[in-house]
Structure 1
């Protein structure tokens, strides 16, 4: 266990958008951000994405085994060669998430990775939360609280991550720590990029709608959007979380539409899910800072700006790196686990009590 001294932690994240592995160094004591270090992106090839897609929604079998092998190999490549690292935070690859049923499954063997890297690795961040009745997601909110302190925020604000799934963290930076009552509220808003990526792959054999170019040429079909918003998830009070494929119905709703109208309508669905979620914030945020790939989609950002009653900006507006923020988050959480600090709580995942998730593996099992 760490005793509170600053450490250089290397965090890794491979999200449900299946684009690749983000790796980033963070200097932290597990409570404060003390500096940002170097970063790296290791993309997945088309063939590798196909291996991961084949495992989605599965809990075992040959497809899961192949995806697990790929996860370890890709992360070993992404995380090798960083200097002066004390600890690694390894999220792994989520392929199935059913907190009310079978639990949550993140592929990747942290013990094997510790042997490869020759460094202690913190991993399996979500299982303890689920065992105690939590959703196991989202897990970045405690890091978002530290970011709010880092940027000097003095009023409530929201961090919106638009990855494969969208998630929102409402932060009151006036509180002294993330586990304080009223400091945080977090939940998955709904689908974000994953269904749009699936549409692009299915219809155009492209991994995503780069710069929202296809959506920009289409029209939003209101009937399909209204059917989407009838989904009961949007009325459910947080905390709440989603599996990547929980909204596969989106593809069915646009099945008869042309490519451009389908892309525009699905982008509007993802933006509308965020707007629906804002009603649950304890107080309206003064600004929304957007991270994840969705912030690079001008159509998505314009829809959010038009639909929300506060400024909507990419996190780069406050000097942060939206490509690496999730990897930094798991570096931060790794430091918290090593210090015995909580990583989630009732207001972020619905867990019954504060919990510190994560397993620590050392090289050679020592």
Structure 2
């Protein structure tokens, strides 16, 4: 298979904005600059299109309206407006990225378009990521692969996490041997565990930044707890923490894929701002640690990406609880900010080749399956 250029897009449940990343791959191996000391160099250029507050409000309202969705094509309330916005914003993000890097649409083989998740209920056979892949392809003049979760859910899988196959390719390119843990902390947190035989186990561990961000927004008007500074000044309410960790979805064995709205900051409502931030941060860290009950081997090294990798208080909690080396992905030449966007570029290339995106040990699907809808320009 020939190496091709792909752009990946990711707009996560934290609603910060759109990550853009370019990689070169044949859908199996990944082109890297050079392996050195077990680390790899950056895969390619990246870009970002942030959301304004009015845009975040639209997406929050659309996510609330999505609670009324019963079929994949339902678009109640503000969902049609949000879908048009998501498509347009992603087009703008790619157009700016191409211009910034001196690239033309003809130099890109495919775009991996995740869209914006508004509801994820795999047990009901339902997952909806708004965004019009066909309209995006027409505007950009580039082939687009979208809707990459739907086939897995239709085949009985959880539809998430999708990134483990990319995590494994990165680990192999870097020359890592297991046991290794790769943790992404966005609105939710998900882990890929690779044992010493190279076998993957992947699942959502529980809350990520979502409840922390919601707490900060409600109590302070800020979008997040910068560096975990507010949590660092607080004290964890141990009784509330144990109650939070009793959530049945934390205790459930994999495969499991969760919905951001299943974890709320509101149970911490009686706490001070600092204590609430500390307790919700501990909830995320302890949920990851408790997930090791499902691992065949405890990872001796963890690589952390996503917005949570910048939360120093959370990272310190993880290192203490996991009793292992815990590294920000940036420290080893990976990208904490753009790991998921890179993954969706890689998944788009795999979809074009008909290669599996998901596996029994990642989503619980009965056999490895591919996915995605291909839209030509």
TM over 0.5, yes or no? yes
- Which of 140, 143, 162 does residue 120 from structure 1 map onto? 143
Q: Which of residues 82, 87, 103 in structure 2 aligns to 1:67?
A: 82
* The one of 10, 14, 18 aligned to 2:11: 14
Aligned to 1:93: 116
Q: TM-score, normalised by structure 2?
A: 0.91
CA distance in 2, matches of 1:129, 1:210: 36
CA apart distance, 1:279: 1.6
- Structure 2 equivalent of residue 231 of structure 1: 247
1:147 maps to: 170
Q: Distance in 1 between matches of 2:222 and 2:144?
A: 34
User: Where does residue 216 of structure 2 map in the other structure?
Assistant: 200
Alignment partners' CA distance in 2, 1:123 and 1:32: 21
1:182-207 Cα shifts (integer Å, max 9, x gaps) = x2100000001011111111111111
What corresponds to 1:262 in structure 2? Answer: 276
Structure 1 residues 81-90 or 188-197, which shifts more? 81-90
Unaligned runs of 5+ in 1: 176-182
Partner of 1:178: none
Runs of 4+ in 1 over 4 A off after TM superposition: none
Q: Deviations for 1:111-134, whole angstroms, at most 9, x for unmatched residues? A: 000001100000000000000000
Counterpart CA distance in 1 for 2:174 and 2:331 is 11
The partner residue of 1:209 within 201, 216, 225 is 225
- Pick from 341, 345, 356 the counterpart of residue 342 of structure 1: 356
The Cα of 1:154 is off from its aligned counterpart by 2.0
CA-based RMSD? 1.1
Aligned length: 351
Query: How many angstroms does 1:173 deviate by?
Result: 6.7
1:159 aligns with 2:182: yes
CA distance in structure 1 between the partners assigned to 2:119 and 2:360 by the alignment: 22
The answer on 1:282 being equivalent to 2:282 is: no
Alpha-carbon offset, residue 174 of structure 1: 4.7
- Corresponding residue of 2:27: 30
1:252 CA drift (Å): 2.9
Q: Which residue of 1 aligns with 2:52?
A: 45
- Quick check: 2:195–2:297 contact (8 Å CA) kept in 1? no
**Alpha-carbon distance in 2 for matches of 1:277, 1:303:** 15
Q: Choose the corresponding residue for 2:312, options 269, 283, 298.
A: 298
Aligned equivalent of 2:321, options 300, 307, 311: 307
Distance 1:174 1:222 in 2: 37
Distance of 1:114 and 1:282 partners within structure 2: 43
Q: What residue number does 1:179 align with?
A: none
Tell me how far 1:239 sits from its aligned partner.
Answer: 0.9
Aligned counterpart, 1:180: none
